[in-house]
């Protein structure tokens, strides 16, 4: 996984642009470009109707153009101090549904990563839970910044015995390599009927997918019990972690009880940084 261009979404109402800060820190170590995008419901949010005639007479542009310019100016004032570590930063405003515009813009600029804040604290719009909705629409990895800013000190790759685990591990190792921090392959076996000894089939599959020896150098951790509870426990037991897991595009991860996948439960319960990798 190579990171050359990062798209981060920030609300103009966000009290702390933690997503932008996280994106800038990643850009600093990967030398990536960062685009900060804010999405408004309509131009009228920043251009009152009584201004329209004056704008027309002064040839200052359409209401949409003026609103976008004002939004970018506000965005730069809000986010500027948080993105100082990024090599190159641009600002952009769009109108519509935040998740739709995020997915569309990510494809337009060829982004390698989308960085968003915790939806409950930094949603880009009141009409949708932006982070889960973006996961449903985008084909890119999405990093969810935690409610309280953290500096990654280890990476937890949540792996199982499926072929998708190789993609999760690849993304986790890429982040571990960029930040020069340990990467741990975490596997949770349901219940207490796990193998007492010997090689786990999932570990052999990871070694094969990694090209024969690369995965052996990783630290591995095996836990028994409820998958999400064990992942959350492991992430909380030690230095700040980036938890990497796979998700399936197109699923509704938003409403509580809508789906019961591991990805949906992690999005609802985790307080650590998350990296959702499409599989």
Angle CA 109–154–106, to nearest 5: 10
Q: What value does the mean pLDDT of the chain take?
A: 84
* DSSP bridge partners of 220: 185
How far from 226 is each of 42, 201, 239, 255, CA to CA, in Å? Answer: 44, 19, 22, 21
How far from 254 is each of 146, 147, 148, 196, 260, CA to CA, in Å? Answer: 17, 18, 21, 38, 11
Q: Cα–Cα distance between 86 and 82 in angstroms, integer? A: 9
Reported as a single tens digit per residue, the pLDDT across 128-174 is 788 888 998 999 999 999 888 889 999 999 988 788 888 898 999 99
Q: Cα–Cα distance between 164 and 5 in angstroms, integer? A: 24
In this prediction the pTM is 0.87
Q: Cα–Cα distance between 183 and 181 in angstroms, integer? A: 7
Closest CA to 17 of 152, 126, 121, 135: 121
Whether 278 and 141 have beta carbons less than 8 Å apart is answered as: yes
Reported as a single tens digit per residue, the pLDDT across 109-119 is 999 999 998 75
Say yes or no to pLDDT of 126 above 70: no
Average pLDDT over residues 9-32: 92
CATH T-level assignment (fold) for domain 5-144: Rossmann fold (3.40.50)
Reported as a single tens digit per residue, the pLDDT across 196-206 is 555 566 666 66
Where in the chain do CATH 3.40.50.620 domains reside? 5-144, 154-278
Q: What is the homologous superfamily of the domain 154-278 according to CATH?
A: HUPs (3.40.50.620)
């Amino acid at each position: 996984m190579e990171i050359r261009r990062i798209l981060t979404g920030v609300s103009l109402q966000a009290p702390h642009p933690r997503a932008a800060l996280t994106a800038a820190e990643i850009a600093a170590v990967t030398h990536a470009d960062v685009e900060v995008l804010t999405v408004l419901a309509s131009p009228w949010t920043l251009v009152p109707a009584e201004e329209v005639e004056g704008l027309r007479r002064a040839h200052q542009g359409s209401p949409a153009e003026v609103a976008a310019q004002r939004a970018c100016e506000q965005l730069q004032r809000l986010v500027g101090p948080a993105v100082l570590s990024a090599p190159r930063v641009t600002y952009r405003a769009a109108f519509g549904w935040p998740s739709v515009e995020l997915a569309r813009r990510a494809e337009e600029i060829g982004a390698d990563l989308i960085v968003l804040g915790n939806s409950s604290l930094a949603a880009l719009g009141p009409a949708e839970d932006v982070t889960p909705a973006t996961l449903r629409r985008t084909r890119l990895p999405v990093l969810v910044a935690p409610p309280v800013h953290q500096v990654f000190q280890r990476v937890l790759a949540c792996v199982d015995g499926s072929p998708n685990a190789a993609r999760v591990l690849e993304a986790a190792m890429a982040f571990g390599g960029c930040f020069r921090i340990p990467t741990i392959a975490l596997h949770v076996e349901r219940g207490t009927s796990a193998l007492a000894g010997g090689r786990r089939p999932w570990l052999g599959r990871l070694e094969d997918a990694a090209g024969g020896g690369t995965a052996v150098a990783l630290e591995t951790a095996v836990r028994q019990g409820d998958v999400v509870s064990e992942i959350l426990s492991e992430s909380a037991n030690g230095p700040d972690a980036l938890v990497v897991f796979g998700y399936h595009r197109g699923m509704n991860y938003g409403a509580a009880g809508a789906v019961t996948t591991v990805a949906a439960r992690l999005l609802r319960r985790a307080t650590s940084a998350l990296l959702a990798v499409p599989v």
